Chains A and B, each alone.
Chain A
């Protein structure tokens, strides 16, 4: 069993604490580290997402953690984010100490070369989340292709609302029932979990080249899916798009569904889970939104995940960027219960609700004889 230290821990990496041990049973997270300024140190990791205790305590004692681990895992983050400012130096130190490095942070080419050389010299593994292990061949497939298996799309409505976690939860549930699942997403950490941090998605989201040629991109989506289907022979494909599907009033700019639109021009999903920030929404509101999504992407909202993350609209307006906070998870659960009478709404960060969401997907897909 290899011992993993995760640094720097933020609310975005909370799903890794839950799912890394499930998808990588030979690995155990033994150290959850965060710089002092996040305020997480000395508290249960679940405080970052305002949920009940997870049993994982956060520490800021990097020194001690480095002696106590075999792998240093740096989750997805932007290098200019101050919370990640020490991450590169720490990875170098860890490599020199003989630790394997799993890096989900975007590095410059120079940093990538340097770290990879350092790891080679110290005979440790360097796993860079932005490089998909699974190399797909680039020979040309022409013409139309429609996956012969169901595709489930998981995306966010107006901003990050647990779509990574919901995708991992669903992957686990499908696997538990014996289905072969291919999961593709835009977070580099998927590559650490034996899933696909799809290079094509990563390139589209964080790179700078692919979007310039839209027809080529659509062709590549098709090829990629065709390749996955041929290679892994899955029963179902889960696709997780980060970012947002629609704009949030005039508060700030987001992806506004441009990426999802491109994707749905190439591949028509069979089912969509839309993750929404906590909102005291009515079923009618969700119906309207679903229609809007259908008009845009050809697929509406088959079910909704209600996050406990809330948009702080006043602050977002003032700062011209998305500002959020986490309500106690129980409130999101209650909101889902209220909506449930009329809509397929779940709070899939709660154990029982995950099952319900999964059953709803299975029900819908089998209705269409897809599974």
Chain B
């Protein structure tokens, strides 16, 4: 038997040694001798079936299913058998790519050729008829849910504001009786009072991109017309909204794309220079270089500083650090921790058929309709990659393609079956996309990152438990 016959992970905190059992999807505190034995098992130096006198704790862990040699036989997503019904009746969101044009040229944007020239900014815009058809498609395919989401996307969607008005007015009649949540992702510079009032009236959530202070934002984000930096224009708009529409401002989100070649503290400086931004929702992530030609480079201390601030926010979650001293960049962390912990539902053991975490149901969750009417699984993947295009407005969703995306883990079946982080995996089909082909080796490139995230979740779970059990400390989630 090899070490992978028992799926588990080990970790330590200052108070305890822990075993995470994949089959039970649960962490349990163990004694040091057991930890040491299991460490040897993990390193392949010892087998759990080789004991002459099995230690009591190991026997108990086996008995309770924490250590089990039961293996997954087949990888198949739980919703595979429901897929056609879900696609037919539970479509939750449509994102409309209103235009491929933009008044910015951000260097990391795929349209600015960061995908090897597969996509370019163009003057292509979505015909209004096509937008209406997409709305009706959403209506016909969401009969089992009372609320749906409509996103406006681009290029820069505000270049098509009159079309947005027409679409929303169309939705009011054609989708009467349904709760609609609108979101728009914009660079903000075209925003004016008329637009803001229209958004307030129709409950449109605004997501504005801003990457950091002037010298950082302007390194990547320049105007298309003259190549000049865009920071001043964006911050002026944000300030205007803050002063004139404070309630709307609080509901607006700033989307920060962080370039890790910069100093993290310098990015964070934005909130010291412009403290009013702290009143907004902040959503931050490093530049998404999956599928990009130019990969991220990392400033030496970027990660350590980022982790430090992340840690401070976690101390806030543990009720040990004041919120106002935390970096707003991590303001979403408490809810992310909560979600990760909620997802950690206890299990009775492994079944013969399982599927790792990662993919959502393609077409159900966040379908993007391109200017040409193609259905792309979401706005975050390459819209020119064949496996990601799962149909079009005329013929609907192609079942076989969604099946392949939902079951993308079948590509790496053997590795996944032996992976301790199976249920915490975050890799959806996007991470298997090697220039238009779903590839196992591409997917496996991201495993380490996914396992690291899983490892952090386990530690956090343990620390939160310890906060309550050992320090009698309530937590803020």
Q: How far is A318 from B178 in the complex, measured between Cα atoms in Å?
A: 20
- Interface membership of A97, Cβ < 8 A: no
Using an 8 Å CB-CB cutoff, how does the interface string of B92-127 with A read, 1 for contact, 0 for none? 100000000000000000000000000000000000
Known: A36-B176, A325-B85. 14 other contacts (CB 8 A): A35-B178, A36-B177, A37-B139, A39-B142, A39-B143, A40-B143, A83-B178, A86-B176, A250-B345, A323-B145, A325-B90, A326-B89, A327-B85, A328-B85
Which residue of B143, B173, B175, B178 is within 8 Å of A48 (Cβ)? Answer: B143
Residue contact B179 to A82, C-beta cutoff 8 Å: yes
Chain A residues within 8 Å of B342, by CB: 250, 317
Residue contact B82 to A37, C-beta cutoff 8 Å: no
Which residue of B79, B144, B146, B174 is within 8 Å of A82 (Cβ)? Answer: B146
Chain B residues within 8 Å of A34, by CB: 177
- Interface membership of B343, Cβ < 8 A: yes
Chain A residues within 8 Å of B79, by CB: 314
A35-B176 contact in complex given A312-B90, A328-B85, C-beta closer than 8 Å: yes
Which residue of B is nearest A84, CB measured? B177
Residue contact B144 to A325, C-beta cutoff 8 Å: yes
**Listed A/B pairs (22) with beta-carbon separation below 8 Å:** A35-B178, A36-B139, A36-B173, A36-B176, A37-B139, A37-B175, A37-B178, A39-B139, A39-B141, A47-B143, A82-B146, A249-B345, A312-B86, A314-B360, A317-B342, A318-B339, A323-B145, A325-B82, A325-B85, A326-B85, A327-B82, A328-B85
A85-B177 contact in complex given A249-B345, A327-B82, C-beta closer than 8 Å: yes
CB distance from B361 to the nearest CB of A (A): 8
- Interface membership of B165, Cβ < 8 A: no
Which residue of A is nearest B139, CB measured? A39
Chain A residues within 8 Å of B141, by CB: 39
CB distance from A326 to the nearest CB of B (A): 6
CB distance from A40 to the nearest CB of B (A): 7
Residue contact B146 to A83, C-beta cutoff 8 Å: yes
Which residue of B is nearest A278, CB measured? B82
- Interface membership of A310, Cβ < 8 A: yes
B138-163 contacts to A (CB < 8 Å): 139-146
Chain A residues within 8 Å of B174, by CB: 36-37
- Interface membership of A67, Cβ < 8 A: no
- Interface membership of A213, Cβ < 8 A: no
Chain A residues within 8 Å of B145, by CB: 323, 325
Chain A residues within 8 Å of B345, by CB: 249-250, 317
Q: How far is A318 from B141 in the complex, measured between Cα atoms in Å?
A: 20
Residue contact B89 to A50, C-beta cutoff 8 Å: yes
- What 10 pairs across the A-B complex have the smallest Cβ distances? A35-B177, A37-B178, A37-B177, A37-B175, A325-B144, A83-B177, A39-B143, A35-B176, A39-B139, A325-B90
Chain A residues in the interface with B (C-beta under 8 A):
8, 11, 34-40, 47-48, 50, 81-83, 85-86, 249-250, 310, 312, 314-315, 317-318, 323-328
Which residue of A is nearest B92, CB measured? A315
Which residue of B is nearest A42, CB measured? B140
A325-B139 contact in complex given A36-B176, A250-B342, A250-B345, C-beta closer than 8 Å: no
Chain B residues within 8 Å of A47, by CB: 143
Q: How far is A33 from B9 in the complex, measured between Cα atoms in Å?
A: 57
Chain A residues within 8 Å of B144, by CB: 11, 324-326
CB distance from B327 to the nearest CB of A (A): 26
Using an 8 Å CB-CB cutoff, how does the interface string of B67-94 with A read, 1 for contact, 0 for none? 0000000000001001001100110100
Q: How far is A101 from B472 in the complex, measured between Cα atoms in Å?
A: 58
A325-B86 contact in complex given A38-B143, A250-B342, A317-B342, C-beta closer than 8 Å: yes
Residue contact A38 to B178, C-beta cutoff 8 Å: yes
**Count, A-B residue pairs, CB within 8 A:** 71
Which residue of A is nearest B176, CB measured? A35
Chain B residues within 8 Å of A39, by CB: 139-143
Which residue of A11, A38, A326 is within 8 Å of B177 (Cβ)? Answer: A38
Chain A residues within 8 Å of B143, by CB: 38-40, 47-48
Q: How far is A16 from B144 in the complex, measured between Cα atoms in Å?
A: 19
Using an 8 Å CB-CB cutoff, how does the interface string of B50-82 with A read, 1 for contact, 0 for none? 000000000000000000000000000001001
Which residue of B is nearest A250, CB measured? B345
Chain B residues within 8 Å of A11, by CB: 144
Which residue of A is nearest B177, CB measured? A35
Chain B residues within 8 Å of A81, by CB: 146
Q: How far is A81 from B145 in the complex, measured between Cα atoms in Å?
A: 12
A50-B175 contact in complex given A39-B139, A250-B342, A325-B90, C-beta closer than 8 Å: no
B328-365 contacts to A (CB < 8 Å): 339, 342-343, 345, 360
Residue contact A37 to B85, C-beta cutoff 8 Å: no
Which residue of A is nearest B145, CB measured? A323
Chain A residues within 8 Å of B146, by CB: 81-83
Chain A residues within 8 Å of B86, by CB: 312, 325
Which residue of B is nearest A280, CB measured? B81
Which residue of A37, A50, A312 is within 8 Å of B176 (Cβ)? Answer: A37
Q: How far is A39 from B148 in the complex, measured between Cα atoms in Å?
A: 12
Chain A residues within 8 Å of B173, by CB: 36
CB distance from B285 to the nearest CB of A (A): 19
Q: How far is A315 from B139 in the complex, measured between Cα atoms in Å?
A: 19
A8-B90 contact in complex given A37-B139, A250-B342, C-beta closer than 8 Å: no
Chain B residues within 8 Å of A48, by CB: 143
Q: How far is A297 from B141 in the complex, measured between Cα atoms in Å?
A: 40
Which residue of A8, A82, A250, A325 is within 8 Å of B89 (Cβ)? Answer: A325
CB distance from A245 to the nearest CB of B (A): 21
Which residue of A is nearest B342, CB measured? A317
A8-B177 contact in complex given A323-B145, A325-B144, C-beta closer than 8 Å: yes
Q: How far is A66 from B167 in the complex, measured between Cα atoms in Å?
A: 30
Q: How far is A138 from B2 in the complex, measured between Cα atoms in Å?
A: 74
Residue contact B85 to A50, C-beta cutoff 8 Å: yes
Chain A residues within 8 Å of B90, by CB: 312, 315, 325
Q: How far is A35 from B179 in the complex, measured between Cα atoms in Å?
A: 12
Q: How far is A327 from B86 in the complex, measured between Cα atoms in Å?
A: 9
Q: How far is A81 from B178 in the complex, measured between Cα atoms in Å?
A: 9
Residue contact B177 to A82, C-beta cutoff 8 Å: yes
Which residue of B is nearest A325, CB measured? B144
Residue contact A310 to B177, C-beta cutoff 8 Å: no
CB distance from B356 to the nearest CB of A (A): 14
Which residue of B is nearest A8, CB measured? B177
Chain A residues within 8 Å of B85, by CB: 50, 325-328
